[in-house]
Structure 1
Amino acid sequence: MGKSSETFSKKEKEKKRLKKQQDKKEKAAERKANSDKGKSLEDMMAYIDENGNITSTPPDPTKKKKIALEDIEIGVSRQPDVEVDPVRKGTVTFFNSSKGYGFIKDLQTQESVFVHFNGLLEQVDERDKVTFEVERGPKGLNAIKVKKAV
Protein backbone atom coordinates (compact mmCIF):
# COMPACT_ATOMS: atom_id res chain seq x y z
CA MET A 1 0.00 0.00 0.00
CA GLY A 2 1.01 3.54 -0.54
CA LYS A 3 1.60 6.41 1.75
CA SER A 4 -1.25 8.41 3.28
CA SER A 5 -2.21 11.35 1.12
CA GLU A 6 -2.52 13.59 4.21
CA THR A 7 0.56 15.66 4.85
CA PHE A 8 1.57 17.41 8.04
CA SER A 9 0.39 20.83 6.82
CA LYS A 10 -3.01 19.42 5.84
CA LYS A 11 -3.44 17.96 9.34
CA GLU A 12 -2.48 21.31 10.93
CA LYS A 13 -4.95 23.20 8.75
CA GLU A 14 -7.73 20.77 9.68
CA LYS A 15 -6.91 21.17 13.41
CA LYS A 16 -7.02 24.98 13.09
CA ARG A 17 -10.36 24.82 11.25
CA LEU A 18 -11.91 22.58 13.91
CA LYS A 19 -10.52 24.78 16.71
CA LYS A 20 -11.94 27.91 15.05
CA GLN A 21 -15.33 26.22 14.65
CA GLN A 22 -15.32 25.16 18.32
CA ASP A 23 -14.42 28.72 19.45
CA LYS A 24 -17.24 30.13 17.35
CA LYS A 25 -19.77 27.76 18.96
CA GLU A 26 -18.52 28.68 22.45
CA LYS A 27 -18.85 32.41 21.75
CA ALA A 28 -22.39 31.94 20.40
CA ALA A 29 -23.36 29.97 23.53
CA GLU A 30 -21.88 32.70 25.75
CA ARG A 31 -23.76 35.44 23.89
CA LYS A 32 -26.98 33.48 24.21
CA ALA A 33 -26.47 33.00 27.95
CA ASN A 34 -25.76 36.70 28.55
CA SER A 35 -28.40 37.99 26.15
CA ASP A 36 -30.74 40.81 27.18
CA LYS A 37 -33.48 39.28 25.07
CA GLY A 38 -36.25 37.65 26.97
CA LYS A 39 -36.22 40.16 29.84
CA SER A 40 -39.62 40.94 31.24
CA LEU A 41 -41.29 44.26 30.52
CA GLU A 42 -40.78 45.30 34.14
CA ASP A 43 -37.00 44.78 33.83
CA MET A 44 -36.86 47.02 30.76
CA MET A 45 -38.91 49.90 32.24
CA ALA A 46 -37.26 53.18 33.19
CA TYR A 47 -38.90 55.80 35.41
CA ILE A 48 -38.29 59.47 36.09
CA ASP A 49 -38.26 60.53 39.73
CA GLU A 50 -39.50 63.85 41.16
CA ASN A 51 -36.09 65.46 40.45
CA GLY A 52 -36.07 64.45 36.77
CA ASN A 53 -33.48 61.65 37.15
CA ILE A 54 -33.90 58.29 35.38
CA THR A 55 -34.28 55.37 37.79
CA SER A 56 -35.33 51.71 37.66
CA THR A 57 -37.80 51.99 40.55
CA PRO A 58 -41.26 53.48 40.11
CA PRO A 59 -41.80 56.95 41.62
CA ASP A 60 -43.46 57.36 45.01
CA PRO A 61 -47.14 58.22 44.41
CA THR A 62 -47.27 60.34 47.58
CA LYS A 63 -44.81 62.82 46.04
CA LYS A 64 -46.97 63.28 42.93
CA LYS A 65 -47.86 66.91 42.19
CA LYS A 66 -51.22 67.95 40.76
CA ILE A 67 -51.02 70.44 37.89
CA ALA A 68 -54.07 72.23 36.62
CA LEU A 69 -54.65 71.99 32.88
CA GLU A 70 -54.95 75.79 32.62
CA ASP A 71 -51.41 76.22 34.06
CA ILE A 72 -49.78 74.36 31.17
CA GLU A 73 -48.56 76.75 28.50
CA ILE A 74 -47.51 75.53 25.11
CA GLY A 75 -45.25 78.01 23.32
CA VAL A 76 -43.94 81.37 24.42
CA SER A 77 -46.07 83.39 26.80
CA ARG A 78 -47.24 86.70 25.44
CA GLN A 79 -45.20 89.62 26.74
CA PRO A 80 -47.21 92.54 28.09
CA ASP A 81 -47.07 95.59 25.88
CA VAL A 82 -44.89 98.16 27.61
CA GLU A 83 -45.31 101.77 26.57
CA VAL A 84 -41.83 103.00 25.69
CA ASP A 85 -40.88 106.55 24.83
CA PRO A 86 -39.87 106.38 21.16
CA VAL A 87 -37.25 109.10 21.61
CA ARG A 88 -34.08 107.72 23.18
CA LYS A 89 -30.97 109.43 24.46
CA GLY A 90 -27.42 108.31 23.85
CA THR A 91 -23.81 109.18 23.16
CA VAL A 92 -22.06 108.90 19.81
CA THR A 93 -19.25 106.41 20.42
CA PHE A 94 -17.94 106.33 16.85
CA PHE A 95 -18.72 108.28 13.69
CA ASN A 96 -16.78 108.24 10.43
CA SER A 97 -18.02 111.20 8.40
CA SER A 98 -16.07 110.17 5.28
CA LYS A 99 -17.85 106.78 5.20
CA GLY A 100 -21.14 108.16 6.53
CA TYR A 101 -21.90 105.81 9.41
CA GLY A 102 -21.28 105.37 13.11
CA PHE A 103 -22.64 103.98 16.37
CA ILE A 104 -24.61 105.43 19.26
CA LYS A 105 -24.57 103.91 22.75
CA ASP A 106 -28.10 104.00 24.15
CA LEU A 107 -27.95 105.40 27.71
CA GLN A 108 -30.98 103.38 28.89
CA THR A 109 -30.17 99.91 27.51
CA GLN A 110 -26.39 100.34 27.05
CA GLU A 111 -26.61 98.71 23.61
CA SER A 112 -24.87 99.98 20.52
CA VAL A 113 -27.16 101.24 17.73
CA PHE A 114 -26.03 101.71 14.13
CA VAL A 115 -26.52 105.17 12.63
CA HIS A 116 -26.22 106.08 8.95
CA PHE A 117 -25.64 109.53 7.51
CA ASN A 118 -29.20 109.44 6.08
CA GLY A 119 -30.62 109.12 9.63
CA LEU A 120 -29.02 112.39 10.83
CA LEU A 121 -31.03 115.61 11.16
CA GLU A 122 -27.87 117.60 11.99
CA GLN A 123 -24.13 116.99 11.94
CA VAL A 124 -22.77 114.95 14.89
CA ASP A 125 -19.28 114.10 16.13
CA GLU A 126 -17.89 111.52 18.54
CA ARG A 127 -18.84 111.96 22.24
CA ASP A 128 -21.86 114.15 21.34
CA LYS A 129 -25.02 113.65 23.43
CA VAL A 130 -27.86 112.94 21.03
CA THR A 131 -31.56 112.06 20.92
CA PHE A 132 -32.79 109.54 18.38
CA GLU A 133 -35.46 107.04 17.47
CA VAL A 134 -34.85 103.43 16.44
CA GLU A 135 -36.19 101.26 13.66
CA ARG A 136 -35.60 97.60 12.92
CA GLY A 137 -33.22 97.17 9.99
CA PRO A 138 -32.12 94.00 8.17
CA LYS A 139 -29.08 93.61 10.45
CA GLY A 140 -30.48 95.00 13.70
CA LEU A 141 -31.51 98.35 15.17
CA ASN A 142 -30.84 101.54 13.19
CA ALA A 143 -30.96 105.04 14.65
CA ILE A 144 -33.09 107.59 12.79
CA LYS A 145 -33.99 111.26 13.39
CA VAL A 146 -30.68 111.80 15.19
CA LYS A 147 -30.02 115.28 16.55
CA LYS A 148 -27.87 116.78 19.27
CA ALA A 149 -29.42 116.90 22.71
CA VAL A 150 -29.89 120.32 24.25
Structure 2
Amino acid sequence: MGRAQESFGKKENEKKRLKKQKDKLEKREERQANAKKGQSLDDMLAYVDENGNISSTPPDPTKKKEIKTEDIQIGITRREDMEDEDPVRTGSVTFFNESKGYGFIKDAVSQESVFVHVNGLVDRIKENDKVTFEVEMGHKGPSAVRVKLAAV
Protein backbone atom coordinates (compact mmCIF):
# COMPACT_ATOMS: atom_id res chain seq x y z
CA MET A 1 0.00 0.00 0.00
CA GLY A 2 1.13 3.51 -0.71
CA ARG A 3 0.97 6.52 1.54
CA ALA A 4 -1.77 9.12 1.18
CA GLN A 5 -1.43 11.30 -1.87
CA GLU A 6 -0.70 14.95 -1.08
CA SER A 7 -1.10 17.31 -3.99
CA PHE A 8 0.65 20.64 -4.37
CA GLY A 9 -2.65 22.48 -3.72
CA LYS A 10 -3.21 20.66 -0.42
CA LYS A 11 0.30 21.54 0.75
CA GLU A 12 -0.18 25.20 -0.15
CA ASN A 13 -3.54 25.36 1.64
CA GLU A 14 -1.97 23.83 4.75
CA LYS A 15 0.86 26.41 4.64
CA LYS A 16 -1.66 29.25 4.35
CA ARG A 17 -3.70 27.88 7.26
CA LEU A 18 -0.63 27.60 9.50
CA LYS A 19 0.56 31.11 8.56
CA LYS A 20 -2.87 32.58 9.30
CA GLN A 21 -2.93 30.80 12.66
CA LYS A 22 0.56 32.10 13.48
CA ASP A 23 -0.36 35.68 12.51
CA LYS A 24 -3.47 35.52 14.67
CA LEU A 25 -1.44 34.34 17.65
CA GLU A 26 1.11 37.16 17.13
CA LYS A 27 -1.64 39.79 16.98
CA ARG A 28 -3.22 38.45 20.17
CA GLU A 29 0.13 38.55 22.01
CA GLU A 30 0.74 42.12 20.77
CA ARG A 31 -2.68 43.26 21.99
CA GLN A 32 -2.08 41.69 25.39
CA ALA A 33 1.33 43.37 25.66
CA ASN A 34 -0.09 46.79 24.75
CA ALA A 35 -3.22 46.49 26.90
CA LYS A 36 -3.44 49.11 29.62
CA LYS A 37 -4.76 47.24 32.57
CA GLY A 38 -6.12 49.06 35.54
CA GLN A 39 -7.25 52.22 33.73
CA SER A 40 -9.42 54.47 35.81
CA LEU A 41 -12.92 55.42 34.70
CA ASP A 42 -11.79 58.98 33.96
CA ASP A 43 -9.16 57.70 31.52
CA MET A 44 -11.79 55.72 29.61
CA LEU A 45 -14.39 58.54 29.29
CA ALA A 46 -14.80 60.62 26.15
CA TYR A 47 -16.71 63.91 25.90
CA VAL A 48 -18.48 65.64 23.05
CA ASP A 49 -17.95 69.40 22.72
CA GLU A 50 -20.48 71.99 21.42
CA ASN A 51 -19.38 71.35 17.83
CA GLY A 52 -19.93 67.61 18.06
CA ASN A 53 -16.22 66.71 18.22
CA ILE A 54 -14.96 64.03 20.63
CA SER A 55 -12.46 65.29 23.19
CA SER A 56 -10.83 64.04 26.38
CA THR A 57 -11.67 67.16 28.41
CA PRO A 58 -15.11 67.74 29.91
CA PRO A 59 -17.21 70.59 28.50
CA ASP A 60 -17.09 74.06 30.07
CA PRO A 61 -20.16 74.47 32.33
CA THR A 62 -20.29 78.23 31.65
CA LYS A 63 -21.11 77.55 27.97
CA LYS A 64 -24.12 75.44 28.90
CA LYS A 65 -27.35 76.44 27.13
CA GLU A 66 -30.82 75.74 28.46
CA ILE A 67 -33.17 74.25 25.83
CA LYS A 68 -36.88 73.75 26.34
CA THR A 69 -38.18 70.32 25.43
CA GLU A 70 -41.11 71.91 23.57
CA ASP A 71 -38.65 73.56 21.14
CA ILE A 72 -37.18 70.21 20.06
CA GLN A 73 -38.78 68.92 16.87
CA ILE A 74 -38.19 65.38 15.74
CA GLY A 75 -39.38 64.45 12.28
CA ILE A 76 -40.92 66.59 9.59
CA THR A 77 -43.35 69.49 9.80
CA ARG A 78 -47.02 68.63 9.81
CA ARG A 79 -49.04 69.08 6.65
CA GLU A 80 -51.27 71.77 8.19
CA ASP A 81 -48.21 73.78 9.28
CA MET A 82 -47.03 74.13 5.70
CA GLU A 83 -48.50 76.91 3.62
CA ASP A 84 -50.59 75.71 0.70
CA GLU A 85 -49.18 77.07 -2.51
CA ASP A 86 -51.00 77.23 -5.80
CA PRO A 87 -50.35 73.93 -7.60
CA VAL A 88 -50.64 75.58 -11.03
CA ARG A 89 -47.34 77.15 -12.10
CA THR A 90 -46.37 79.23 -15.09
CA GLY A 91 -43.23 79.02 -17.17
CA SER A 92 -41.75 78.86 -20.63
CA VAL A 93 -40.69 75.89 -22.71
CA THR A 94 -36.88 75.95 -22.99
CA PHE A 95 -36.53 72.74 -25.00
CA PHE A 96 -38.98 70.33 -26.61
CA ASN A 97 -38.17 67.48 -28.97
CA GLU A 98 -41.38 66.46 -30.79
CA SER A 99 -39.88 63.35 -32.37
CA LYS A 100 -38.80 61.94 -28.99
CA GLY A 101 -41.74 63.41 -27.06
CA TYR A 102 -40.03 65.17 -24.17
CA GLY A 103 -38.64 68.52 -23.15
CA PHE A 104 -38.08 70.97 -20.30
CA ILE A 105 -40.03 73.90 -18.89
CA LYS A 106 -38.37 76.69 -16.87
CA ASP A 107 -40.56 77.77 -13.94
CA ALA A 108 -41.17 81.53 -14.00
CA VAL A 109 -40.97 81.90 -10.19
CA SER A 110 -38.27 79.48 -9.01
CA GLN A 111 -36.32 79.34 -12.31
CA GLU A 112 -36.00 75.57 -11.91
CA SER A 113 -36.09 73.34 -14.97
CA VAL A 114 -38.90 70.74 -14.93
CA PHE A 115 -39.05 67.69 -17.19
CA VAL A 116 -42.15 67.37 -19.41
CA HIS A 117 -43.27 64.33 -21.40
CA VAL A 118 -45.72 64.29 -24.29
CA ASN A 119 -48.13 62.24 -22.10
CA GLY A 120 -48.44 65.22 -19.72
CA LEU A 121 -49.52 67.67 -22.42
CA VAL A 122 -53.05 69.03 -22.90
CA ASP A 123 -52.13 71.39 -25.78
CA ARG A 124 -49.37 71.08 -28.38
CA ILE A 125 -46.30 73.04 -27.32
CA LYS A 126 -43.05 74.15 -28.91
CA GLU A 127 -39.94 75.97 -27.69
CA ASN A 128 -40.39 79.48 -26.16
CA ASP A 129 -44.16 78.94 -25.57
CA LYS A 130 -45.60 80.35 -22.32
CA VAL A 131 -47.38 77.52 -20.48
CA THR A 132 -49.19 76.69 -17.24
CA PHE A 133 -48.49 73.33 -15.61
CA GLU A 134 -48.58 71.32 -12.41
CA VAL A 135 -45.66 69.40 -10.94
CA GLU A 136 -45.83 65.78 -9.83
CA MET A 137 -43.03 63.48 -8.78
CA GLY A 138 -42.14 61.08 -11.59
CA HIS A 139 -39.81 58.09 -11.63
CA LYS A 140 -36.68 60.21 -11.79
CA GLY A 141 -37.81 63.43 -10.11
CA PRO A 142 -40.28 66.28 -10.65
CA SER A 143 -42.27 66.14 -13.87
CA ALA A 144 -44.68 68.66 -15.41
CA VAL A 145 -48.25 67.41 -16.02
CA ARG A 146 -51.45 69.01 -17.35
CA VAL A 147 -49.38 71.38 -19.47
CA LYS A 148 -51.50 73.99 -21.29
CA LEU A 149 -50.63 77.01 -23.38
CA ALA A 150 -50.95 80.15 -21.26
CA ALA A 151 -53.55 82.74 -22.28
CA VAL A 152 -51.65 85.75 -23.59
Bigger Rg over Cα? 1
**Identity over aligned pairs, percent:** 65
| CA RMSD after TM alignment | 2.5
* Runs of 4+ displaced beyond 6 Å: none
Deviates more, 1:101-110 or 1:49-58: 49-58
Residues 1:117 and 2:118 aligned together? yes
Listed one character per residue, the Cα deviations across residues 43-91 of structure 1 (whole Å, up to 9, x for unaligned) are 2222233444433333333332222222222223446322222221111
Please give the secondary structure, in 2, of the residue aligned with 1:43.
Answer: helix
Structure 1's 134 and 54: CA in aligned 2 closer, same or farther, altered over 3 A? closer
Indicate yes or no: 2:130 matched with 1:129.
yes
Instruction: Give the aligned partner of residue 95 of structure 2.
Output: 94
**Residue by residue, what CA displacement relative to the aligned partner does 1:103-125 show, whole Å, maximum 9, x if unpaired?**
11111122222222232222211
Gaps of 5+ in 1: 1-27
* Residue matched to 2:139: 138
- Cα separation, 2, equivalents of 1:99 and 1:41: 69
Read off the aligned partner of 1:145 and give its amino acid letter.
R
Structure 1 residues 72 and 105, CA, compared in 2 at 3 Å: closer, same or farther?
same
Q: How many residues align?
A: 120
Partner of 2:106: 105
Distance 2:44 2:54 in 1: 13
Structure 2: where are the runs of 5+ without partners?
1-28
TM-score (normalizing by structure 1): 0.64
Q: Deviations over 1:1-36 (max 9, x none)?
A: xxxxxxxxxxxxxxxxxxxxxxxxxxx8xx85x642
Distance 1:36 1:107, change over 3 A: same
